[in-house]
Structure 1
Amino acid sequence: MKRRDAYLKLTRHNGRAGTHGTYNPKHNDRSFNLANSEHIDPERAKGNIYWDCFYGFRSALAPQDPDDLAATFSEVERQFYESRYSNFVESQNERNAKIRHTERNRSIPDLLSSRKTCPEETIYQLGTLDEHASGEVLLAVVTEFIEEFKARFGDHVHVLDWALHLDESTPHIHERHVFDCENKHGEVAPQQEKALEALGFELPDPGKPLSRRNNRKITFDTACRKMLFEIAKRHGLELEEEAEYGNREYLEKQDFILAKQKEQLAAQQNKLDELTLKVNDMETLIDEVSAAAYDKAVEVVTDVVRTETRKEDMRMIEDTKKWVLSPERKAPQSTREYTAKHLDSVLGQVPQDHADHRCPLAGEAPEAGSPAERQGADQGKSTGFCSATAEPLAGRADPTKAICAAYRRKIRKLFSIIVRGDVY
């Protein structure tokens, strides 16, 4: 069996469920329409061999007796579970009723569909798609293994059925079995770990607690693999002694998984670094745009604040002039005219581009109160505008405040000259 200095690869793979739930034995005994599966050759399927624990061997050439109660693997497994575990199911349901937890009740179909209590399926294969043993050699090795398997572990591990498939790309065998053991109530129940403990299997690391990576099933599978290799060697086969994962030189399976995870993490880290650089570049661009926008906003706000401040001060001066010239004032006419003339000179110092603000104010009615009182109110308006406008720019030096303060100091100085004249 040594082909071109290449040793055959012996595979024994276990599983209970996949993407679509627990494995269906209909695939194994071909109890479905083969026309719906492109990878199965219906002509070669006639050479498949099937075995179950109730009725033994059968094939398409030697079909099962139609009078048999179980025509398919599904029915065989249901019958086995009913005959062996019905007492456990009924007793457990009674205990659930006594403690008022009937929602925990289960049935035989529930046991067959649960990942913990359904049969375990094992696939055996000798070789690969390119290099593999014949179906006859595979059948001889695996049937001898199953007989020894039942002799050694049959008290607690029961082989239910198996099928040799010759109708796919590579000959292989599907075998299904169930683990069981008596529970604390003396009832036989499907339970893997307790069954293996009863068979004498220890944890891989007895010093550590039972876990997914430290359980008796690992020890059991190691013993089965060793037994299978010994039987294959007795048949004269030369096999790969060391496991190979992912087409790489030998590594322990967990080491290979960790190496793959590290590669994935490194790739993800590189992608994250690239995204981080892009984010940093974007943040730098945002800062630059924000700075330019802020400078432009300062220019606009400065002009607006300056204009509004002058408008308020001009209004105050206009109102004061109207108040001084009103007939209610008791000061001499000459004093009042002198004061009004001085106010005109103050207005004359306002830049020409703001002179248009005097027109709409000239026709307004004078406000109540003295100019000094209105000065405080008007200053509050002007200063309030300045603060409200500058508030969104808090956290930076605000040039508008300095401009407003300097301009208002100039206005107050001129206005103080008027106030000192005994106009009031």
Structure 2
Amino acid sequence: MERQFYESRYSNFVESQNERNAKIRHTERNRSIPDLLSSRKTCPEETIYQLGTLDEHASAEDLLNIVTEFIEEFKAKFGNHVHVLDWALHLDESTPHIHERHVFDCENKYGEVAPQQEKALEALGFELPDPAKPLSRRNNRKITFDAACRKMLFEIAKRHGLELEEEAEYGNRKYLEKQDFILAKQKEQFAAQQSKLDELTLKVSDMETLLENVSAPATLPAFADVADPELTQAAQWAIEQGYLKARADGSFKPDKGVAKWRVIRGYRAVTEP
């Protein structure tokens, strides 16, 4: 439905703009209808309507009646430049809510209807929140427009017997802009993920230490009268095989008639390929 609307309303703008791009040899700037649908500046905007919180909220019937009336009034007031594309009631989650999507547009300097939010709101007569300051992320007509829509929704809700908190809050945190709240939530999620990562890293480190301890070769016992590493290894092998007996004084003394070099030769004969 959205693509069909874009094709019927903005194809002339797209084709004409692409022709202008070709004339100035900048066809890399050409766009298509799918490009308009995916671009942050020209794609449809989505609004979610929810009355109340997870613990306390309006019924699905009340929500549907209020938002239906709101959309009708919305179209009557802003329909020349803001077009509701589709909307739907969702009951698949804990709190009933409605997803609504719309697009802003107005004529450009060539007389073509093109999707453009700020120009559309200017054409509807909306002013900047602070007219003395230049257009910016925190001083644009969308802020004024959102405030007007919120006021209209509250008035309709009152007519249906519902009283809503009229101060905009995000996540029950007053005085926070929506983007600030989103960033705060992202930081909380990152901190939680980092904590889990640190815990996993610690477990891996402990496992590596355990493996090192298990796989590390046993330290050969020292012999008081042996300094040569190979002789030490040969002596230990001979004791483990039962050819020699460990002495209480820690010295390496083969049985009578067995020279130390014979022990080494025997060790090599058995262990070397």
Give the TM-score of the pair, scaled to structure 1.
0.42
Counterpart AA for 1:158: H
The secondary structure found in structure 1 opposite 2:49 is strand
Is 1:253 the counterpart of 2:187? The answer is no
Residue of 21, 31, 44 corresponding to 1:119: 44
Structure 1 residue 129: Cα displacement: 1.3
Displacement after TM superposition at 1:235 (Å): 0.2
Equivalent in the alignment of 1:178: 103
Please, which runs of 5 or more residues in structure 2 have no aligned partner? 188-273
In the alignment, what sits opposite 1:69?
A: none
Amino acid paired to 1:252: Y
Cα separation, 2, equivalents of 1:80 and 1:256: 30
Cα distance change on mapping 1:193 and 1:153 into 2, 3 Å: same
Question: How many Å separate the matches in 2 of 1:114 and 1:214?
Answer: 22
Among the aligned pairs, what percent are the same residue?
Answer: 89
Partner of 2:240: none
Alpha carbons 1:245, 1:256 under 8 Å: kept: no
Alignment of 1:9-20 (within 5 A): none
Matched, 1:189 2:114: yes
2:134 aligned partner: 209
- Structure 2 contact 170–178 (Cα < 8 Å) conserved: no
Which is bigger in relative contact order (C-alpha 8 A, separation at least 6)? 1
| Structure 1 residue 255, shift from structure 2 partner | 11
Match of 1:253, as an amino acid? L
* Pairwise CA distance, 1:238: 1.8
Judged with a 3 Å threshold, the aligned counterparts in structure 2 of structure 1 residues 101 and 223 are, in CA distance, closer, same or farther, namely same
Name the Cα RMSD after superposition: 2.0
* Counterparts of 1:146 and 1:247, CA distance in 2: 26
- Take 1:150 and 1:256, find their aligned partners in 2: how far apart are those partners? 27
Pairwise mapping of residues 19-418 of structure 1 onto structure 2 (< 5 A)? 76-248=1-173, 251-254=174-177, 257=180
Runs of 5+ in structure 1 lacking a partner?
Answer: 1-75, 265-424
SS in structure 1 of the partner of residue 167 of structure 2: coil
User: Which amino acid letter does the alignment assign opposite residue 89 of structure 2?
Assistant: L
* Contact 2:90–2:97 under 8 Å retained in 1: yes
Distance 1:108 1:244, change over 3 A: closer
Structure 1 or 2, whichever has the larger Rg, is 1
Change (3 A) 1:94 1:257: closer
Which structure features the higher share of helix residues?
A: 1
Q: Could you say if the C-alpha distance between residues 244 and 93 of structure 1 is closer, same or farther in structure 2, counting changes exceeding 3 Å?
A: closer
Distance 1:178 1:223 in 2: 17
TM-score between the two structures when normalised by the length of structure 2: 0.64
The secondary structure found in structure 1 opposite 2:65 is helix
Deviation of the 1:246 alpha carbon: 4.2
| CA distances 1:116-153 after superposition (whole Å, capped 9, x unpaired) | 10000000001111111111100000000000000000
